[in-house]
Amino acid sequence: MSRASLSSPVPLYLQIADSLRDRIVRGVWQQGEVIPTLEQIAAEFDVARVTARQAVQLLMSEGVLIPQRGRGTFVSAAALTMKPVQVVTTLKALVEMYQATSQQPVTVEESRRKPPVTAADGKLAEEYMYMKRVHSSDGLPYCVISLYLEENIFSMAPDRFRDELVIPVLVSLSPQCIAKARQTLTIGSADAVTARLLRVPTDAPVARVQRVFNDANNVVIYYADVVYRGDAIKVEMDLGSVLP
């Protein structure tokens, strides 16, 4: 029987909401299926009924669950399984992945500011265009991208960079400017702002990918901090043969 953890800094109702959401994503509870009552959920997680109600109401606000008077609470049509995003390990594969999508990102913030790079990332240029974007799949947001593009490169095609996915545009305009590209994957939890944009609870698990592109002089021309929902990312690696 499941139990919410009293020792966790995450509120009990958020822990329960995460568990219930996971059942829907994994198909344990199917679209159109009625879920257990508040009393049953409270008993399963050994919490008060009001805590169970908070968890269910959160999923209702996300559109995952929908109440029907006199019948119960159902998994809604919006609760579709998200197609995982594959984490690729080469620039070529990254470009191909973006080129294969027809999604248009939604920009929630734009300004001029410098990226939070370290000396190990490379040297800073004079100015950068900053854009914070949300990418969605079938209406469900799966990642938030905070990206910084060197100003001279941005000025080559500002309308395209604003309207399209940045990396394919960058490669199509000036592939020779990318002398080095790397990315780092870490696991963490969503802060309040990111959680709101991704429609997940604060402190929900997320995968964070940092991408840095440098030119021949080691100047950072592209920097991105990409935060994926924990249920939206897939890492697959070929380990080769296990035979001796």
Per-residue tens of pLDDT for the chain, all 244 residues: 455 655 555 678 888 887 888 788 777 888 899 999 999 999 999 999 999 999 999 889 878 899 998 899 999 865 555 666 777 777 888 888 777 766 678 899 999 999 999 999 999 999 999 999 998 876 678 899 999 999 999 999 999 999 989 999 999 988 889 999 999 999 998 888 888 888 777 778 899 999 999 999 999 999 999 999 887 877 776 766 655 5
According to the model, what pLDDT value does residue 7 have?
56
Angle (CA) 205-233-122 rounded to 5° is 85
Which domains does the chain carry?
A: 12-75 (1.10.10.10), 85-234 (3.40.1410.10)
According to the model, what pLDDT value does residue 240 have?
67
According to the model, what pLDDT value does residue 65 have?
92
**Nearest-CA neighbor of 134 among 33, 20, 232?**
232
Q: Give 148's contacts (C-beta < 8 A, 6+ positions apart).
A: 113, 114, 115, 128, 129, 130, 220, 222, 223, 224
Contact, 107 vs 129, CB < 8 A? no
Contact, 78 vs 137, CB < 8 A? no
Residue 228 to residue 59: CA distance in whole angstroms:
19
pTM over 0.85: no
CA distances from 89 to 110, 176, 235 (A): 28, 19, 10
Q: Which pair of structure tokens corresponds to residue 31?
A: 């679209």
According to the model, what pLDDT value does residue 3 have?
58
According to the model, what pLDDT value does residue 72 have?
93
